[in-house]
Amino acid sequence: MKTLLVTGGAGFIGSNFVRHVLETTEDLAVVNLDLLTYAGNLENLTDVEGDARYTFRKADVADPVAIAAIFEETKFDYVVNFAAESHVDRSILDPGIFVRTNVMGTQVLLDRAKAAGVERFLQVSTDEVYGSLGPEGAFTESSPIQPNSPYSASKAGADHLVHAFGHTFGFPVVVTRCSNNYGPYQFPEKLIPLMISNALEGKSLPVYGDGKQIRDWLHVRDHCSAILTALRKGKDGEVYNIGGNAEMENIRVVELILEALDKPKSLIEYVTDRPGHDRRYAIDPTKTREELGWSPSYTFEGGIEETIRWYLEHRDWWERVKAGEYRNYYERMYADRGA
């Protein structure tokens, strides 16, 4: 049995990944290390709590003493680093915590993982480090790094550190960069769960600017299988882009949700645009397909239908989430946008 440290495993993608590893492998034990910020929710993992291969540790990735103690206690074979502040709009309100968690936290983990001699460190990054595209083309792994938001700048900083540890110390690192995820357990501050839950509550659906920004949607389960594949089959020092072949304008995503829920388009409210809003993201997945043999299994149409059903069936989950600290953030953010 090998031991895998998953940081940020109580968040959206991390919790789906912990479940995916426990369901699809027999040779991996998982330690989930998470600070349980506003975005971390152990309710996402109640179904795996009794699994003998699963352990939870509450800790801050940017706290070198706490992280050193955890690496002393357990011999980790692999690290997959999801822990991050992940929401672009929050990074515009308060960039400092993004630098602390995303940059310093990654450095603390790299230091400890290197000292412990882990076999592989996988950094979960994002296509946002490449900046924004015009109407044509797609991001490849060699596209220039041109982040535009404090969030993406902090993720790019982390990627550079990961690369530096590989290059300077010969430390075995892999970086994955994926497009926008959607699926079960996504915190309802992000576009898709926000629009589904607001529509179900009869609230307005705040669309930024003209709504014609394009994102390339990836189902979270596809993302999880890609990460596990990259962990097992990736080459040291390499970057792998992960996409869902599903580019769509935001307004079309919102309309699809309203149609599926049989709600009126009059719920759509155009609000002030996000400052510095990236216009278009698109992933060229050729390298990942050819070198790792991985492709997405979901279509956007199938994935969004399944996701809407999940939010319909888990109303208690998102109502509890929305009743917490998120309510203060929501009122502040959308009041500033004239909603």
Binding site for ligand DAU (CB under 6 A): 86-88, 126-128, 179-180, 190-191, 194, 206-208, 213, 215, 250, 274, 281
Instruction: Using the minimum distance from each CB to ligand DAU, give the nearer residue, 60 or 128.
Output: 128
For tokens 């203060």, the residue is 328
Q: Which one is catalytic: 151, 182, 240, 298?
A: 151
Label residue 323 exposed, middle or buried (CB < 10 Å: 0-12, 13-18, 19+).
Answer: exposed
At 261, the amino acid letter reads: L
Instruction: Using the minimum distance from each CB to ligand NAD, give the nearer residue, 149 or 198.
Output: 149
The SS3 of residue 249 is strand
Site string for ligand NAD, 69-108 (x = CB under 6 A): -------------xxxxx--------------x---x---
Residue 162 has which token pair?
């990961």
Q: Which of residues 186-215 bind ligand NAD (CB under 6 A)?
A: 187
236 is catalytic: no
Q: Which one is catalytic: 127, 159, 189, 278?
A: 127
* Shortest Å, Cβ 15 to ligand DAU: 15
151 is catalytic: yes
**What is the total residue count of the chain?**
339
* Nearest 10 degrees: Cα torsion 49, 50, 54, 58: 40
Q: Which one is catalytic: 34, 128, 189, 222?
A: 128
Q: Does 285 bind ligand NAD (CB under 6 A)?
A: no
User: Contact 82/101 with Cβ under 8 angstroms?
Assistant: no
User: Contact 265/331 with Cβ under 8 angstroms?
Assistant: no
**DSSP secondary structure, 44-59, as one string:** GGGGGTT-TTEEEEE-
* Shortest Å, Cβ 215 to ligand DAU: 5
301 is catalytic: no
Q: Report the relative pairing of strands 78-81 and 120-126 from DSSP bridges.
A: parallel
* Shortest Å, Cβ 10 to ligand NAD: 4
Q: Where does this chain bind ligand NAD (CB under 6 A)?
A: 7-8, 10-14, 34-37, 39-40, 60-62, 82-86, 101, 105, 124, 126, 155, 178, 180-181, 187
